[in-house]
Amino acid sequence: MKTSISLPIFIFLLYTLLLSFTHCSVLAHKNTPFVDKICKQTPYHALCLKTLLSDPRSAGADVRGLAIIMVDVIKRDTVSILSRINELLKKGGTDPHTRGALLDCIDKYNAVLKGDVPEAMEALEKGDYKFAEQGATDASLEARVCEENFETSPITNMNKLVHHVSLVAASIVRMLL
C-alpha cells in the first residue's frame, strides 16, 4: 500500500518538475525571434545569435539591452586575450618580433578595456549612441591592428573573435541611431 501512495506522489512531483523546466526553457527563449531579427542585421549573424542567446539577459532585452550584452562580451573577451598574452610572455620562447607584437597588443587591449568599453557602456547608459558605436568600432580596430603586427600570430583566433564581436556590437548600436 505504501508503494501505491508513493507512486502517485512521485509521478506528481516528476510532472511538476518537468513542467517547471519546460516553463523556464520557454521563458529563456521567448526573445529568440527578436534576437534573430537583430542578429541578421549584423556582419556575423551566427556569432551574434550564439552570443546573445547564451546570455540570460537577452530573454527580455530590447535593442539597447542586446548592445549592452555585446559590449560586456567585448570586455570579457578582452580580459581573456590579455590573460593569454601574459601567459605567452611568461612562458617565453617567442622570437623578438613576436614578443614585441605581443607587448604592443597589451597596449591595444588595455586601450579597449580602459577606454573603448567604458566609453561604449557609458554612452549606452546615457543614450548617446554615436559614442557607443565609436567605442565598439575602436575596439574592433584595436584587435585588427594587434593581429596585423604579427608575422605569425599565436592569438589569431582570439583577435578575430574580439574583432567580430566588436563589429556585431557596433552594428547593434547603429540600429539605435
- Return the pLDDT at 92: 86
- Return the pLDDT at 9: 56
pLDDT-wise least confident of 13-22, 23-32, 35-44: 13-22
Name every residue whose Cβ is closer than 8 Å to that of residue 152 and which is 6 or more positions away in sequence: 98
* Cell triple for 124: 549606452
Asked whether the predicted pLDDT for residue 47 surpasses 80, the reply is yes
pLDDT in tens, 22-32: 333 333 457 89
- Return the pLDDT at 138: 98
Mean pLDDT of 94-120: 97
CATH topology assigned to domain 31-174: Butyryl-CoA Dehydrogenase, subunit A; domain 3 (1.20.140)
- Return the pLDDT at 89: 96
Using CA atoms, how far residue 106 sits from 39, 46, 151, 168, in Å, is 30, 28, 17, 23
Mean pLDDT of 52-72: 96
CA distance 60 to 70: 15
Domain ranges of the chain: 1-30, 31-174
pLDDT in tens, 135-152: 999 999 999 999 999 999
CA distance 10 to 44: 47
- Residue 174 near residue 152 (C-beta atoms within 8 A): no
- Residue 91 near residue 107 (C-beta atoms within 8 A): no
CA distance 174 to 177: 5
- Return the pLDDT at 16: 43
Q: What percent of the chain has pLDDT over 70?
A: 84
CB atoms within 10 A of CB 176: 16
**Higher per-residue pLDDT: 19 or 74:** 74
CB atoms within 10 A of CB 76: 13
